[in-house]
Each structure stands twice: as structure tokens, then as C-alpha cells.
Amino acid sequence: MSVETTSKDVIVLGIETSCDDTAAAIIRRAPDGACHILSNEVWTEHDDHAAFGGIVPEIAARSHVERLDQTVVKVLLKAGISLDKIDAVAATAGPGLVGGVMVGLTTAKAISITHGKPLIALNHLEGHALSARMTETAPFPYLLLLISGGHTQLIDVRSLGDYRRLGTTIDDAAGEAFDKTAKLLGLGQPGGPKVESAATGGRADRFDFPRPLARRAGCDFSFSGLKTALRETAENTDPRTGQDVADLAASFQFAAARHLSDRTQNAMEMVEADYGDTARHLVVAGGVAANCAIKSTLGLLCESRGWKLVSPPAKYCTDNGAMIAWAGAERLAAGLVDHGEDALSMAPRARWPLAPSTEGAAFGSGRKGPKA
Ligand code: KG4
Ligand code: ZN
């Protein structure tokens, strides 16, 4: 690990292929930490997967093979930059669907070797964790609520590369719960945005869904009880009118937002005990952070405790190449990059926790796999 820091601009090409989005971006990081997103392209093809009711890993990997080179060419052209002008190439090396990660990482390795540029093999979750720093003010340390399709975690982001996990989901991830809700209500995919728009015309107080883990201390999450409650209520409301669907979506979204807020409040108490007044930024990132109802519930929580809510614009909450390029640039600027053989020998990882959990964290039953 090299430790030198840089006082010049760094330009990084970022590649993201860990799920179904084929994404690339070029960013320039100024020595004062300012981020300039020179180009950012995301190629999403939900129709390819629609007939199967969810993302098919094999189809996703094939799409990345077909689209990634064009996407990289496009971001280079849009940024007006050639590969010999970049300082490094960063790519997601996991966690994610391993076939897709393989495509992005191998492409980045090829660029690294043929153009003699450092390769930065990144944890996808670090991309989300640092994404707010591209466009917002989010000084270290801060509390991160990472809510995506595969992960739901509360992380104490102490500094670049120094993360402590305070809580995680014991079953489904938040985005997964939205996707399953959309499927059950026949709204189509991607579930999150469909549920959010269906909820717009609905009454959030019509159905009283449970408050998961209400009697349990700590910051873990659980969405399986909510999912069951929604399914049972939907079955009892059959046939369903358009208004019923809107009310179900709104009531589910309200309960999910309340659960995220409840557990975040517990994490805030832990962080306040550790840092006092210094770390009062709550950063919300990951695809589910695009949800306006969730953001406004968290906004109220922050307001009540004197915290500041920080969230990147929606297009940088969902998977994108800019956040990968940015995390690479932050590492490069801080000298936190492996040069040479080590990075090039990095294998794609399906599982890769970003942070160790807090000692003695009270984890319950449930799956602790990739979602942890
Ligand atoms: O971060 P992301 O793009 O990919 C992962 O790393 O998982 O997150 C995708 C997830 C999906 O489950 C999607 O339904 C959810 O984020 N999502 C939303 C919204 N937009 C995307 N969930 C709730 N409301 C939204 N507006
Ligand atoms: Zn993601």
C-alpha cells in the first residue's frame, strides 16, 4: 500500500457492472476535494429481465459483455478524454453478481495493462458510501444509512477506508422488500420507483403494518415481517381496485420508512455517545435513498436531533459509474491504492463485507450472507 498523497487533479475512469446496470463515468477530483463529473452513462435494460420476474444473472452478465465497451467509449468521448490522459481505472470488484463483476473487472484490467494505468479494484459498497461526497458536503466522520437492492446497513464512516458496521438486515434488504412489494401488487420492475409512484395517490394510514424489531435494541433491520403482512393484507383485499393498490403501496412505504428511521435513531444515539457533537451528518445512499417519502421521514428525524441529512441526487443513489470513479479518485488522492501485481491479481468477489461489525453487536437469527 503506497501512502503518498497527491496535490494535483486526478482523472479516473469508473466501471460498474455488479448488478443489471452497465455503467461508466469519468470524473476529475481537484486537490481541494471538489468533484467534477465529466461524463456518466448508465445502461439499464429492465425489459431483458421482465419476463422472468427478477434479475437473471446470466442475462445481466451477457448484457455487460455486449454493452460495456460502447459505454466506456461513450464516456471517453463525452468527457473529451483519451485513455492515455486518465490517472487510473477503477472498477467494482464485488460484492455482486459474479458474472457481471467479472466483465467489469476484466475490462478494467485490460485497460490498466494496455495503457499502463493503475487499477483500483473497489468494493461496490464503498462507492455508495462515498457517493454523497461527489455533490454534497459530507465531512468525515458521518453516519451512513446504506439502502440498496442487496444491502441495508448502518455504518460509522470514520474516514476513507475506515468503516464500522453498526447494523445490518437479518433477512431481506430494503430494496428487495420494495421489489417484492411491486411484484405482489403487479406493478412491474424496478419495484422501488413503481411502489413510490403508486403510493402517491394512496392513503398511508389505511393499513396498519407492523413495526419490525420494535422491542429489540440495536440497529439491525428486518423486512420479512412487513412483507408477510403486506401479502396477507393484499390477499384479504381481493379483488383489488386501483385505490386499494395505491393504499397498500403507501402503507407499506410508510412502514418501511418508519422502520428505517427507528433503527437509524438507535444508531444516532450510539454515534452521539462516541463522538459528541462532531459527527452530526446522516448520509443516505444506495438505490432506495432515491425515495422521497423515506428521505422526508429521515429529514424529520434529523431535524428533531439537530443532525443534517445528506443525500446524493437520485441518479447517484442508484448504481452508477461516477461513484466508482469517485471512490477510486479519493483513494488515489490519499495514496490508498495498491499498485502493480496485487491489484491485477484481484479476483471478483460475490461477497465482500465493507466493514467489520461492532464488537458484541446483538445479531439475531436470519441470513447473514451477502446482505450482511
Ligand atoms: O443501489 P442500487 O441501484 O443497486 C444495488 O446495489 O442494489 O439499488 C437498487 C434498489 C432496487 O431494489 C430498487 O427497487 C431500489 O433500489 N429503488 C428504490 C427507488 N429507486 C430504486 N426503492 C424505493 N424507492 C425508490 N424511488
Ligand atoms: Zn448498488
**Ligand 1 atom at minimum distance from 190 CA:** 14
Supply the pLDDT for residue 364.
Answer: 33
CA nearest 229: which of 196, 257, 213, 252? Answer: 252
Instruction: Walk across the sheet containing 308-310 and list its strands.
Output: 162-168, 152-159, 142-147, 281-285, 308-310
**Whole-angstrom Cα distance, residue 40 to residue 3?**
29
Pocket probe mutation, ligand 1, options 316, 318, 319, max atoms within 8 Å of Cβ: 318
CATH class of 140-311: alpha beta
Return the pLDDT at 249: 98
Residue nearest atom 22 of ligand 1, based on CA coordinates: 192
Map out the domains of the chain as residue ranges: 10-132+319-344, 140-311
Q: 144: CA distance to ligand 2 center in Å?
A: 14
Q: What is residue 55's predicted lDDT score, i.e. its pLDDT?
A: 82
Q: Which three cell numbers stand for residue 176?
A: 428487495
Domain 10-132+319-344 and domain 140-311, same fold? Reply is yes
Ligand 1 centroid from CA 38, angstroms: 24
> Who contacts 77 (Cβ-Cβ below 8 Å, separation ≥6)?
39
Contacts of 89 (CB under 8 A, 6+ apart): 12, 13, 14, 15, 108, 111, 112, 115, 117, 118, 119, 120, 328
Count of other CB atoms within 10 angstroms of residue 240: 15
If you count them, how many residues does the chain have? Answer: 372
For residues 284-295, b (16+ Cβ closer than 10 Å) or e, as one string?
bbbbbbbbebbb
DSSP 179: H
CA distance 319 to 18: 9
Please give the number of the atom of ligand 1 that sits closest to the Cα of 128.
1
Residue whose CA lies nearest to ligand 1 atom number 19: 192
Give Cα separations from 88 to 107, 121, 180, 320, 323 (angstroms).
13, 11, 38, 17, 14
Residue of 21, 124, 148, 298 to test ligand 1 pocket, by largest number of atoms within 8 Å of CB: 148
CA of 51 to the centre of ligand 1 (A): 19
Q: Say how far apart CA 195 and CA 6 lie, in whole Å.
A: 45
Ligand 1 atom with minimal separation from the 179 CA: 14
Q: How far is the CA of 206 from the centre of ligand 2 (A)?
A: 32
Helix-helix angle 224-236:174-184, to 10 degrees = 10
CA neighbor of 127 nearest in space, from 345, 327, 348, 314: 327
Counting atoms of ligand 1 from 1, which one is nearest the CA of 191?
14
Q: Residue 105 C-alpha to ligand 2 middle, in angstroms? A: 16
Side-chain half-sphere exposure of 157, counting CA atoms within 13 A:
28
The pocket around ligand 1, CB under 6 angstroms, is made up of 19, 148-150, 175, 178-179, 190-193, 196, 286-288, 290-291, 318-319
**Ligand 1 atom with minimal separation from the 174 CA:** 12
Nearest atom (ligand 1) to Cα of 292: 26
What pLDDT is recorded for position 368?
38
Distance 124 CA to ligand 2 centre (A): 6
Q: Beta partners for 145?
A: 154, 284
Residues of the chain under the 50 pLDDT cut: 1-4, 359-372
Q: Tell me the ligand closest to 253's alpha carbon.
A: 1
CATH 3.30.420.40 fits domain 10-132+319-344:
yes
Smallest CA-to-CA distance from 174 within 310, 52, 294, 47 is with 294
Ligand 1 center to residue 149 CA distance, Å?
5
Q: How far is the CA of 317 from the centre of ligand 1 (A)?
A: 8
Residue 25: closest CA among 69, 79, 67, 63: 79
Are 323 and 316 in contact, with CB atoms under 8 Å apart? Answer: yes
Which pLDDT does position 358 carry in this prediction? 67
C-alpha cell at position 226: 412487513
CA of 116 to the centre of ligand 1 (A): 35
- Tell me, what's the pLDDT at 237? 96
CA 317/CA 311 separation, integer angstroms: 8
What pLDDT is attached to residue 6? Answer: 65
Residue nearest ligand 1's atom 18 by CA: 192
In this prediction, residue 47 carries a pLDDT of: 74
Is 371:173 a contact under the CB 8 Å cutoff? yes
Pick the atom of ligand 1 nearest to 148's CA. 8
Put simply, whether the predicted model's pTM sits higher than 0.85 gets the answer yes
